[in-house]
Structure 1
């Protein structure tokens, strides 16, 4: 087989890039269609993704719920942090960090590492900063994200975690694309979601997710592979994917 010389190959590639519809991103996966329905759950936005209705975002007005005294007993976040085996020096993004309830627990585990606290509401980031100062935690950095991009440095994170957040993303495909871009090779994306399979979990249906649905939605992201599902928590799944 005869290889093309650089003198021939470069002009050919340049010409292709000028062809309408051709780009260097041609290998990127196409997003599954979002479906809008007029009849839908009152807790949802009327937009469906791969058969699941997207839930309304919890506003900053409800931030007290994130810090409720009974949360630790209900969710056993101590077991969550232990299960994920964070390392000293790790770089972690807490996507949808809210007031920083999870961020501060991770920050203590990673020592010299950094937690990026990402949220789309400035009010939540203000609460995050206030609470980190109150607990004298200095390794949590707030980041104002967008609904389709966490705005993280490229290939910067070892772990990205979403605690009861992903089901509220109004552009889940695009947001995960942005997260993958900010993840190191071999890094992990962690979903913590209330179990939809369990009717006794006292959470609104649209704010729960089944493991099967999470895996279905990540199957359209070719860079991710399922790693494990950890069922140590009383009410939530811990579902882990890794970047190939």
Structure 2
């Protein structure tokens, strides 16, 4: 088990690998809902060192970063490394938008998004109760009442149908153990004209110092979103290490 101290130490040594935790079981297959689709959409293999051995459309799903990596999400150098300050502009949000922050974690983006949609709201979804606690505490500390923490599951973000203008996943989608089921649920939650945005480290760039299974290529992400009936609207290139892949319904 890696401790928070070790996570911070690795970052300070410029390892730039996302931390892992003993909570990795949350990223493994939920056998009850998945068994009915196992033969059609998922296959299995011997796990890579940073994968879970479950394959979707040719991609091995990565291990999950658990709540023990919270300090890594909130590290002071994150804005400079990832230029997180540029992301909101790429999303082209309206003040009244409803945004779902999927895999919200500590709320690093949720609270920033909330200020960009003062007449709307942010649905901050995470599957870990520990992260929901972070979000609830942060909502009080940051005084942003338009953030609504939601405890989802590995197959369902628990979002109402036709309720979301934009669903954002920042370095999260590649860890979903059930991307097909989650994707279907997210598409169902979109309003007409709604968008899904994946922010993922560029697999095409070997200079991005992130573990292989924690990266995604534009081609792979597009393949998986196409399977949900979505098309790529734009790949915004303003971030130094990550794709900003914006998808809408075909």
Q: TM-score, normalised on structure 1? A: 0.85
C-alpha distance in structure 1 between counterparts of 2:119 and 2:192, whole Å? 21
Shift of 1:243: 2.6
Q: In the aligned structure 2, how far is the partner of 1:205 from the partner of 1:234?
A: 17
Q: Secondary structure at the match of 1:147?
A: coil
Q: Which runs of 5+ in 2 are unaligned?
A: 1-37
Asked if the contact 2:164/2:189 (under 8 Å) is kept, the reply is yes
> Which secondary structure state, in structure 1, belongs to the residue aligned with residue 104 of structure 2?
coil
1:35 aligns with 2:46: no
Q: What is the aligned partner in structure 2 of residue 139 from structure 1?
A: 146
Match of 1:193 among 200, 207, 212: 200
Q: How many residues align?
A: 214
| Structure 2 residue 239 is the aligned partner of structure 1 residue 228 | no
- 1:48 CA displacement: 0.8
SS at match of 2:109: helix
Select the residue among 92, 98, 106 that pairs with 2:105: 98
Deviation of the 1:32 alpha carbon: 4.7
Q: Aligned pair 1:87/2:118, yes or no?
A: no
Distance in structure 2 (CA, Å) of the matches to 1:159 and 1:111: 15
User: Helix, strand or coil: the match of 2:110?
Assistant: helix
Query: Residues 125-153 of structure 1: CA distance to partner in whole angstroms, max 9, x if unpaired?
Result: 10011112111111100111111111101
CA contact (8 A) 1:32 1:50 kept: no
Match in the other structure for 1:26: none
Structure 1 contact 117–143 (Cα < 8 Å) conserved: yes
Provide the rounded CA distance (Å) in 1 between the counterparts of 2:158 and 2:39: 20
CA 1:164–1:32 in 2, change beyond 3 Å: closer, same or farther?
A: farther
Query: Does structure 2 conserve the Cα–Cα contact (< 8 Å) formed by 1:183 and 1:243?
Result: no
**SS state of the match for residue 115, structure 1?**
strand
Which structure would you say has the larger Rg? Answer: 1
The C-alpha deviation readout for 1:189-224, integer Å capped at 9, x for no partner, is 0000000111111111100000000001112112x2
Rounded to whole Å, the distance in 2 between the matches of 1:31 and 1:120 is: 25
Asked if structure 1 preserves the Cα contact closer than 8 Å seen for 2:173 and 2:198, the reply is yes
1:183 aligned residue: 190
Poorly superposed stretches of 4+, deviation over 6 Å: none
In the TM superposition, residue 181 of structure 1 has moved relative to its aligned partner by: 0.9
Identify which of 138, 151, 156 aligns with 1:149.
156
- In the aligned structure 2, how far is the partner of 1:99 from the partner of 1:221? 28
Equivalent position of 2:172 in the other structure: 165
Give 1:225 shift.
Answer: 2.1
CA distance in structure 2 between the partners assigned to 1:31 and 1:234 by the alignment: 38
Deviation of residue 65 (structure 1)? Answer: 0.5
**RMSD of aligned alpha carbons:** 1.5
Alpha-carbon spacing, 1:76–1:33, altered in 2? closer, same or farther (3 Å): same
- For residue 104 of structure 1, report the CA deviation from its aligned partner: 0.8
Structure 1 unaligned segments of length 5 or more: list them: 1-29
